[in-house]
Structure 1
Amino acid sequence: MTIKIVVERLPTREDMDPVTLRRHPALRQLYSLYEEEGEVAPKIIRENLSVEAARKVLSNRVIELLSAIKENKGASISELARILRRSPSNVYRDLAELARWRIIKLREDGRKKVPEIIAKKIEIEIL
């Protein structure tokens, strides 16, 4: 039995970096469409997620964090920590993992970092 986990997400500025575009032909094609059509409508990127990463993303603690981000748009890490009654360092650690897996991105807003959810869907297939 094989399990495949796929994340559908919005492209980030880092995805359009020339080094990244050289390594990923699908992204290069997406960027070409942007340039040719002059459109800025977001496209969806599909990426595989490891079973280990999915296990962490689907934990109660992380789902609670993602819900808090969605319900409190623009909340900083320390504000989310207060809302969730967790330490800011633990919240930051979870956010850093989510950013590494490209479930969220951390946006600079002055001196604070604000998480934004960029994943639109996580699919689990049993093959």
Structure 2
Amino acid sequence: MNTKMTMTFSALIMGAIGIALSFSSDSILMYLGIEENRIAVFLMQILGSLYFGFAMLNWMSKSSIIGGIYNRPTTVANFAHFLIAALALLKGIISNPELPFVIWGLAIVYVIFGCLFGIILFVHPRQARKN
């Protein structure tokens, strides 16, 4: 499996989300129909910094050997993030199918990355190269 592409795409997507949340949190809250107040904007900006930090981690790790025991903390963190968020998003869209298209798209992206990081986590990189 080409982990460099997975790490690069996840870094780009999370970086874009992080920048958007950090600098346009009020617009995002308005689009989602959430009442804009100082606490909500503040929490969105903190969430943006988390996304951006994760993006930097993935970007800096993209050229390293990843999978199995290699870079395990990075892989476990990504797998946990994408799996837990995918499950929450799927639960949300199943219980409320009228959610905005952006939420549906985000759910699809998170399911894909959750599966990819699960494969990376549980498959040794040498096994993947032999097959």
Would you say same fold, with TM above 0.5?
A: no
Higher strand share: 1
Higher helix share: 2
TM-score (norm 2): 0.26
TM-score (norm 1): 0.26
Of structures 1 and 2, the one scoring higher in RCO (CA 8 A, sep 6+) is 1
